[in-house]
Structure 1
Amino acid sequence: MHLLSVILMAIAMLLCASNLQAYRFLGVLHSRIRSHHIVGSSLFKELARRGHQVTVISPFPIKKPLANYIYIETYKSAQMDSAGGFLLQTTGGSITEGIWNFHEMGLNMTRTFLEESNVQALIASNQTFDAVICEIFLAEALYGLSEHYNVPLIGLGTFGAHPWNTDMVGSPSPPSYVASAMLPFNDRMTLWQRVGNFAYNIFERLLLDLYYLPKQAAIYREFFPHNKRDMYEVRRNAALVLLNQHVSLSFPRPYVHNQIEVGGMHINRKRSPLPADLERFINESKHGVIYFSMGSYLRSKFLPLEKRKAILETFRGLKQRILWKFEDPQLEGKPDNVYISEWFPQDDILAHPNVKFFITHGGLLSTTESIYHGKPFIGIPIFADQFLNMNRAEAGGYGISMDYASFTRDKFKAAIERMLNDDSYAKRVAAVSAIYRDQPINPLDLAAYWVEYVVRHKGAKHLHCVGQDLSFIQYHSIDSMLILFGGLALAILLTILLIRLIWGWLQFALARKDIKDKTH
């Protein structure tokens, strides 16, 4: 009987093994922004752990070797390294100017990436893949890799929904209640906010369609001259788009079936031990710890001297200890209660019970991690979706937003004291954290499932939204409205003309009758 059980178990295992299939994925993380890499690499590592072979092109090497994970290094662009400092210097400029410069940077970044010798060698090789997973960030020409290998394109949106990624699958974005990620509005806009949102959407649409995307299409043709489909067709036929977003962290909005929210898939669900000196610094603080980071892109060392001094003077007067991600080991005037480092294990720090709150630039990864670990935050937004993220935090009651241009020591101190003394922020973030954590499946498992689903079903073409195949006139039913309302208007016009004709004939007939009566 025991032998029979063993035989049956062996057969079952063989049957299960026969149903398992390893796929080959090409992951493209082209940007020099470490936070984007953190999101993408979490997915690629999970796919490798599941037995798939994953080749990743990125400027950030994997720290620990992982089976099935092949790393291809790309050039670490100095332009991206200095761009954060440039943003801090130009915060007084207009939104449109900033967006224009941002897209120009994307064009340069795309060309630099495709000119890489390692990338060229990969394109020229005889390697094969089952799908290309490409970061969606100002590099649409890179989608040509999926056409080059004749495999499905899977987009990875490292922040929320935006025309860059909704255009790929056809998710609608009504400007009446879906605010642009670049504007500090929520889903309940005033009339003038709706006007501003609508105007900005028109500007962005014109910028994309008339200038930016044609430039990307030209780069696509240059580097992928033998591709059968052009960039536009490849772009609007993406098999899947994964978004680093979740409805509890944003606002409800419509998505098509192959645009999936997987926000927070990079977050460690189990806190790792901190370095001994860092753990001791946090544990020995009787009044708790404040964590401060401007992210991997903006960097605190780029802050102007007067703002840096205002921050240090504020920290000097606090009972709490401060962890400040500062990228220069020499920080003049640093108080004893401040611990600086070029890089911190942010996820594990925010999970520490002795950390009171977070001072951040308002980036999506930072705010998501802070909410997951139940820590309120003070935000100093500088660019793009940071304003929107902080607007959500203020509206939700778990964050305080500060204006960078008018930043002073007194305002900064007041915000910190408010956060320390008002426990409503901690209570509210705890409630939002509970909502965010209450998901039927871990976001990383969800992302991996959908990636495998696309390959398993040969590109999952059944998820393709037909709206992607319609012209602007067809999609917005302009032709139908012209026929319907034009036909109705024509019918009304003809009816009026007929009535006037009959009325005229009656008048003419009555006049003739009067004349006849008078002559008789």
Structure 2
Amino acid sequence: MGQTSTSLCCIFICFMLAQTVFQVESANILFFFGVSSYSHRLPAWPLVTGLAEKGHNVTFLSPFKAKNPHPKVVDYAPRKFSEWAESWDEMNMFDMRKKGDMYKQWLILPYFGIAMCEKLYSDEEFINWVKSSTYDLVFIDALFNECGYGMAHIFGAKVIQFDTTTVFPWYSSAFGSPDETNWIPDMAYVFGANEVTFQNRLINALIPVGWDLFRSWIYFPQLEEITRTGLSTTDLPTFQDIEKNVSMIFLNTYYSEEFARALPPNMVSIGGIAYVEKRTPLPKDLAAFLEKGNGFIYVSFGTVADLQKMDASTQQAIIGALQSFPELQFVWKLRNDSLLKEFPNGNVYISNWMPQQDILSHPKIKAFITHSGLIGIQESIYNAVPLISFPIFAEQDYNAERVHRNEYGIRLEITTVNQAELEDAISKVVNDSKYDPDFKFTQYSTNDA
């Protein structure tokens, strides 16, 4: 009797457990981040690892290997592609800005996309990988990585664009986002709140038209020809037709820190997903350095801009301003520590790599001097850290303008800044309470993302 009861009990338990079993089907997912700095992977990485943890087969294709690999994510960096990406360091964005060629930087970027496509499809190893791989979904970094459209077609995969910044000017015709050029400044042709003139608005309205023509007549035809030749395919649709079937666009923005845009249903703001991770302890030497002080300012010009490429007067203005605050500590991301000799009292810590999120969440931080990259700005908002913004290239003027308008911090011009200007900005963001209260509201709103 007891044995029968036990058997019946086991059958009952199995029956009940069976009700909780769902059919799960894992997908093969590719993230294609070709023309992008290493920082572009940061806002996407929680999505990459989250999908892998859910049981999907995830591959991340870029020129750079992950600094902290995930055991369930395949990191694919074709050798020739990585070697080509090393040449990007030769570009001097500061020099181009000083010459007034800010928009020229934007005109160069699509040709990087074309050159990348040529490099990939001239690599037999990569071509064989494309032809032998199967993917159900391809995430494409939205900034001139449309070379990925050809791969998605070969795979028969759905496409989602991952936009690491805000709405691009060609989105109105490509994806149906409302054209709001009458009041929102173009991300490259940025004008201030007091510069909404007829001329600026006219130029602002014509920029999307120019991009549409360029993409239709020059950019896409070249990508299509490279893809057709590289993959030896004859049934490749036009990239415009492929783009019409893009399923969704993820925007690395959030409503509380962006202009009040009207977005169609296929565009989803996901800014903030990278900034809810558990903090990790700082390196011991950095932690010890910060503990002995009463407050510090973090200085970083990102992974592309480099202080050594700035002219002597700009370098001296920055160094001189920091020297004027011996009571503060400075944590400075630099490629070499040769500048330490300029700070004999030992209030500067220099390293070529910094755990940025952990630094910005430190209770003793006072401000962040930045090149106005969106990721750094969002991390600062998340941690309620005021900013001094020095835009240098790409959409950084657009980011810095929002920082200035919303009083998250102060915007300065890197090519003309002098020591007195930077000293004044540091004093204001550290001591002026106006860079605090409204900032907190945005922080809480972003924390809900």
SS in 1 for 2:74: strand
TM-score, scaled relative to structure 1: 0.78
* Cα distance in structure 2, aligned partners of 1:141 and 1:407: 39
Q: Could you tell me whether the CA contact under 8 Å between 2:103 and 2:188 is conserved in 1?
A: no
Q: Indicate yes or no: 2:154 matched with 1:148.
A: yes
Q: Measured at CA, do residues 32 and 139 of structure 1 come closer, stay the same or move farther in structure 2, by a change above 3 Å?
A: closer
What amino acid does structure 2 have at the position aligned with 1:29? F
| 1:73 to 2:77 alignment | yes
User: Aligned equivalents of 1:232 and 1:187: distance in 2?
Assistant: 35
> What residue is the counterpart of 1:133 in the other structure?
139
User: How many pairs does the alignment contain?
Assistant: 435
* Contact 1:314-1:412 at 8 Å conserved across structures: yes
Distance 1:48 1:78 in 2: 29
43-52 vs 64-73, which deviates more? 64-73
Q: Which residue of 248, 273, 276 corresponds with 2:281?
A: 273
Gaps of 5+ in 2: none
Cα deviation code 1:45-86 (max 9, x no counterpart): 111111111122122223445343212123321232223xx2
2 CA distance for matches of 1:400 and 1:17? Answer: 55
Taking the aligned partners of 1:356 and 1:117, their CA distance within structure 2 comes to 51
Residues 123 and 316 of structure 1, relative CA distance in 2, 3 Å threshold: same
Whichever structure has more helix as a proportion of its residues is 1
8 Å contact 2:276–2:447 — kept in the other structure? no
Structure 1 residue 195 and structure 2 residue 205: aligned?
Answer: no
Give the 3 Å change call, closer, same or farther, for CA 57–411 of structure 1 in structure 2: same
Aligned counterpart, 1:334: 342
Structure 1: where are the runs of 5+ without partners? 440-520
CA RMSD of aligned residues (A): 2.4
Cα distance in 2 between the residues matched to 1:361 and 1:29: 22
Change in CA separation of 1:134 and 1:116 when aligned onto 2, cut-off 3 Å: farther
Partners of 2:369 and 2:9 in 1: CA distance: 59
Identity of counterpart residues, as a percentage? 26
Which of 314, 325, 328 pairs up with 2:321?
314
Contact 1:179–1:187 (8 Å) recurs in 2: no
Kindly state the Cα deviation for residue 412 of structure 1 after the two structures are TM-superposed: 1.0
Does 2:399 align with 1:395?
Answer: no
Note the C-alpha offset of 1:382.
1.1
Are residue 407 (structure 1) and residue 413 (structure 2) matched?
no
CA contact (8 A) 1:301 1:328 kept: no
Indicate how the Cα distance of structure 1 residues 284 and 239 shifts in structure 2: closer, same or farther if over 3 A, else same: same
Distance, in Å, in 1 between the alignment partners of 2:69 and 2:395 is 34
Among candidates 431, 443, 464, match of residue 441 of structure 2: 431
> Which residue pairs with 1:215 in the alignment?
222
- Structure-1 residue corresponding to 2:376: 366
1:513 matched to which residue of 2? none
Structure-2 separation of matches of 1:4 and 1:185 = 76
Please tell me the residue identity of whatever aligns with 2:370: T
Partner deviation per Cα, 1:192-223 (whole Å, 9 max, x = no partner): 43223113333333333333333223323323
Q: Say if 1:177 and 1:187, in contact at 8 Å, map to a contact too.
A: no
TM-score, L = length of structure 2: 0.89
Distance in 2 (CA, whole Å) between partners of 1:67 and 1:214 is 39
How far apart are the structure 1 equivalents of 2:263 and 2:9? 48
Matches for 1:20-169 after TM superposition, within 5 Å? 20-74=24-78, 75-76=81-82, 77-83=85-91, 86-91=92-97, 92-125=99-132, 127-163=133-169, 167-169=173-175
Q: Which residue of 2 aligns with 1:292?
A: 299
- The letter for the 1-side match of 2:24 is L
Tell me the amino acid that sits aligned with residue 193 of structure 1: N
